[in-house]
Structure 1
Amino acid sequence: MIWHIVKKLGLYFWRNPQQLFLFLALPIILIMILGAALGSNFNSESSLITLKVAFIEHEDSNEQMVAFLQDIQDEVPDEALQAIESSLPSMEPIQIITSVFDNEEVNEFLQVDYVDPSERDVVMNDDSYTAIIEVPNNFTYNVLHTMVFGNNDAPTLSVTYNEEEQFGSTIVNNFLSDIQEQLTKGSYLGKNGIDLSTVEIEEIKTETISLNEKNPISASAYYTIGMIVMNVLFLAGAVSYYAFYEKELKVFNRIILAGVSRWTYFSGILISGTLYAFLQSCIIFLFSKVFYGINWPNIIDFLIVTIAFSFAVGGLAVLLSAINYRLNSETITSFFMNIVVTILAVIGGSFYPIGDFVPLIQTISNMTPNGAGLTAYLSLLRGDGLAAVSDNLLFLGLFGVVMVVIAALCFPKRGVSA
């Protein structure tokens, strides 16, 4: 009986070319328009964000290294002195910092200007800089002394951030925190007689790999996903509309009089919403693969996310149907399709990834079915696995279950429906 319900709802779509156009052709048209109009914002060959940093060294680090070696000649044996002298190039803190900033991957989004101390006041008044990093006097000397003897507190850099660029300042701060961690680790390892040069080289290599492990997202890929997760919500409203249409035709009453449980019909609506949402998503994703070359790194992960998202949509469909039956009106479906879907699309990031710039909005976005689906799809497309989207999958599953439970409570009893 459930299969007959699913088939009948499918025939309603098949016999309504206008609905098919809205669910299949319209998303494709929107993908083409938005991808072309806003493609420059997603150019994979350039970074979305370009940060500008000024680096001011108040005292030459090489001179400090020479002074350090001269000062410790009488404090350490000759063999230890030779070992320290040979490892100084890899221990030198400014070299560690500049090797990170001068990395080709970093330079794609981070511009570092090495500024003479005499120009400090000029850059301090230049609002184009995200941050100004100052290396104080004796910084290299003190760092080396701490690494070798471990009897001083590690010196710190002076950093002035541009308050108007909080997002960029956070990125620079993370960079500096990682570098500070390297220096602190170097101090500990040096004090315990561990080879510093090997550790430092491995740390920098690790940083370089971490910058390169994500695949870029094109405009076509982003809007393919954005339009799918938005338009599939309309399908939930359409399923509930046809379910109420059957009630108007007394089909539901005849099913009840035939001795079929109302939960059978309830399950049929849930499966219909889930199945047709899955088919709609796959058809549009197939289009994007053929015409835009959008390929998923792992097709199994993609199918799992699509099933989870489709189940959430199926839960929405059955909830809307239950409310329509309870109120004996399709007003709730009209309200959902005309207003709620648009609000969810904006919050969920279907039109623009506003959550990338406002963390609070991203958190709210992930608490909507379309937003959670969008985040999961984008993560998979960047090369992440299911473990990275487990929270989104859990939310989609729980969302679907909650919708089904609420729908079951709202679904009218036999006496009410008959």
Structure 2
Amino acid sequence: MWGLIKKDFLTISRDRSELLVLLAMPMILIAILGFALGGLMFNGGDLDAIPVALVIENELEEDIDQFEQLLNDQGLPAPAIEQILASVEELDPAEHLQEVLRSPELSDLIDLSEEYQQDEAEEALATDEVLAVITIPEQFSYQTLSAFYLEEEPEAMIDILVQNHEQFQANIVESIISSFTDQYNLELSIAFATGGEAEETAISTADFGEFIHIPNQEPISAFQYYTIGMAMMFAMYVASTVSGNAFKEKTNNTLARLMLIGERPLHYLASKVVSGTVLTMVQLIILFIGSSIFFQTFNQLNLTFLLLMFLNTFVYSLTIGALAALLTAIAVQFNNDAISGIFSGGVVVIFALIGGNMVPVEQMSPFISELGNWTPNGAMMTAYLQLMQGLELSDFAPLLYRVLAVAIICLVVAVAIFPKRRLS
């Protein structure tokens, strides 16, 4: 078996095109993506203020007059009406929302503009002049006060328009409004339970969330992200390279001659697992060392970190070795190398996109992000990044188990379909 493994190493090391794909291309892409996209996607945790248009269609004085007329129509006594109207401005949700959006706590996060009319704001949204439009509609105060004091069905609603392609910023704006409405509803409930004494409490403007970084760790940099991403992506090409060489050995009768001299088929298949595993480990180690030298990717090294890096690398390399065995088994059994071409030309690219090797998928969609963690490259990329952020093995161990499960499935299927006797 060791002779077969040595042969695989010599074959690949003499193929300059394979070395270019496995080693040179990832380093080139790390440099290009790190320099070109790093400033756009990875800015060390700093976030420019989100331009937001606030459109106020609500007229408080008119709403108070209309509400007073409603109270008179309900037949409430004059002293009760006076008492209610005295607390109306304290409860006005439109005023509270404006105070929240204008608060110093949100000034670094929200760049608020209030000079727009509704049609102008929507046009600004379409041209990316603003990323969100918050509209306080007509009779908003009236509807809220009626729902509170007269227990009518609430119809007040704050309208939010956002740009879909700016999902991260849109989520921030939506979270702020959601937090405001939740807290305001809580304040109304308290006021209702205490007989309308809402003036004793206040809407907090400080608890609308925060950015949390792992203690003592810097956020992931562009070069760190793309080093892991390109390493995970190009490691998959090892599987197609190993299986492609195996098919060549079958077509030039090398495999048949090995069988004639007593080499067992499963030993041959096992050699492809070992070759794929060792080749992937060598590739990943070279890429990590090269990236550290040229881009200072790993600059906080300690024994625990290195051991966990080695564990991650071994698990992923073993999975690539198992995948190489599966592709080899399919190519040999069906006497066709199309599977290697399909894998390297299509499957790798699709997995790289879903797994976040090319772009941070968590900024695109939570569903795609979760789906990516079910691909071997995506799961391992998350494991590497979590390790680099200072998380413990127990935090990303489920991802390693998931990838090992893929390796076991590939090995079982490869053994099941690989020819055990005659090779034609």
TM value normalised by structure 2: 0.69
Tell me if structure 1 keeps the 8 A contact 2:12–2:19.
yes
Corresponding residue for residue 419 of structure 2: 412
Task: Specify the alignment match of 1:23 in structure 2.
Answer: 22
C-alpha offsets along residues 241-296 of structure 1, whole Å, 9 cap, x if unaligned? 33344546766556555666433332232232123212311221222223222238
Which amino acid in 2 is paired with 1:286? Answer: I
> Contact 1:41 / 1:48 at 8 angstroms: preserved in 2?
no
**Could you say which residue in structure 2 is the equivalent of 1:174?**
175
1:280 matched residue in structure 2: 283
The 3-state SS of whatever aligns with 1:416 is: coil
- 1:36 corresponds in structure 2 to 35
When structure 1 is superposed on structure 2, of 293-302 and 122-131 the one drifting more is 293-302
Equivalent residue number for residue 131 of structure 1:
133
- 1:324 is matched with 331
Residue segments in structure 2 that go unaligned for 5+ positions in a row: 65-78
What amino acid sits opposite 1:232 in the alignment?
A
- More off after superposition, 364-373 vs 22-31: 364-373
2:143 and 2:156 in contact (8 A); partners too: no
Aligned match of 2:410: 403
Asked if the contact 1:93/1:140 (under 8 Å) is kept, the reply is no
Asked if 1:262 is matched to 2:271, the reply is no
Please report how far the alpha carbon of residue 395 of structure 1 lies from its aligned counterpart in structure 2 after TM superposition: 4.1
Runs of 5+ consecutive residues of structure 1 not aligned to the other structure: 65-69, 76-83
Which residue of 1 is the match for residue 234 of structure 2?
231
Total equivalences in the alignment: 395
TM-aligned CA deviation for residue 23 of structure 1 = 1.9
What amino acid maps onto 2:290 in structure 1?
Answer: F
Give runs of aligned pairs for residues 2-401 of structure 1, distance below 5 A: 3-16=2-15, 19-44=18-43, 51-56=50-55, 58=58, 93-94=96-97, 97-98=100-101, 102-103=105-106, 107=109, 110-115=110-115, 122-123=120-121, 125-127=123-125, 128-129=129-130, 130-134=132-136, 158-162=158-162, 167=167, 168-187=169-188, 204=206, 207-210=209-212, 216-247=219-250, 252-253=255-256, 256=259, 261-295=264-298, 299=305, 302-353=309-360, 356-358=363-365, 361-362=368-369, 365-381=372-388, 392-401=399-408
CA contact (8 A) 1:232 1:277 kept: yes
Query: Is contact 1:136–1:158 with CA below 8 Å preserved after alignment?
Result: no
CA distance in 1, matches of 2:189, 2:264: 71
SS in 1 for 2:160: strand
Q: Which amino acid is the alignment partner of residue 241 of structure 1?
A: G
Q: 1:67: which partner in 2?
A: none
Cα deviation 1:100-158 (Å, max 9, x = unaligned): 784366x2xx4222459xx5664355333312142877859979x97xx9988889552
d(CA) in 1 for partners of 2:330, 2:237:
16
Kindly tell me: are residues 266 and 138 of structure 1, through their superposed partners in 2, closer, same or farther at Cα, counting changes over 3 Å? closer
The alpha carbon displacement at 1:235 in A equals 1.1
Q: Report SS of the residue matched to 2:422.
A: helix
| Cα distance in 1 between the residues matched to 2:265 and 2:334 | 17
Distance apart, 1:222 and its partner CA: 3.1
CA RMSD of aligned residues (A): 5.0
Alpha-carbon distance between aligned partners in 2 of 1:10 and 1:270, rounded to the nearest angstrom: 13
SS at match of 1:208: coil
Instruction: Kindly state the Cα deviation for residue 178 of structure 1 after the two structures are TM-superposed.
Output: 2.6
- Could you tell me which amino acid in structure 2 is paired with residue 113 of structure 1? S
TM-fit CA distance, 1:318: 0.6
SS, match of residue 281 in structure 1: helix
CA contact (8 A) 1:133 1:157 kept: no
CA distance in structure 2 between the partners assigned to 1:38 and 1:258 by the alignment: 55
